[in-house]
Amino acid sequence: MAKYLLFLLLGTQLAFSQKQNKVETYKYGHNGMELIVTNSTSTVIVSTFNSKMAIKDEIAEKVYENFKENNTQTGDTITISGNNAKVTGKCYIKKKGKLTAVEFYYEKVEWDSGLTEIYKKVG
């Protein structure tokens, strides 16, 4: 009888246990121009900083889409959802003549696996 009670107790624990999210920091990310869009009247350059290599291109495209829809002001903290992760960061927009630079700084990456990575400045 004690074995059945123990089995029932362990089975219940496993069935109702919650998946723990893991939080880590990272110090080095990818920095660079990810997307250049040119038309007859202007050029937009999307750059990402502190980005994760696996998702940098997809997130850059979504930052551009967000910019195109005029949803972003310079200095705003925005969240971009990708296929494998949700990225939160600051967006800065600089204009000079026909050139617009959209800079997106990663602050937090929440992967679908449950891992959360937070950028920590070096130094």
Cβ atoms of 117 and 111 within 8 Å: the answer is yes
Mean of pLDDT values over 65-89 = 92
pLDDT of 15: 59
Answer whether residue 75 is part of any domain: yes
Answer whether residue 39 is part of any domain: yes
Q: Does residue 6 carry a pLDDT above 80?
A: no
pLDDT of 50: 94
The span from the CA of 73 to the CA of 122, in Å, is 27
Answer whether residue 4 is part of any domain: no
Residue type, 66: N
Answer whether residue 22 is part of any domain: no
Residues sharing a CB contact under 8 Å with residue 29, sequence separation 6 or more, in sequence order: 49, 50, 51, 52, 106, 119
Mean of pLDDT values over 5-13 = 64
- Place 123 in a pLDDT band, splitting at 50, 70 and 90: low
Q: Is 38 helix (H, G, I), strand (E, B) or coil?
A: strand
Q: Does residue 17 carry a pLDDT above 60?
A: no
Number of domains within the chain: 1
Answer whether residue 23 is part of any domain: no
Mean of pLDDT values over 6-30 = 73
Q: Is 83 helix (H, G, I), strand (E, B) or coil?
A: coil
**Proportion of the chain above pLDDT 70, given as a percent:** 83
Answer whether residue 105 is part of any domain: yes
Answer whether residue 24 is part of any domain: no
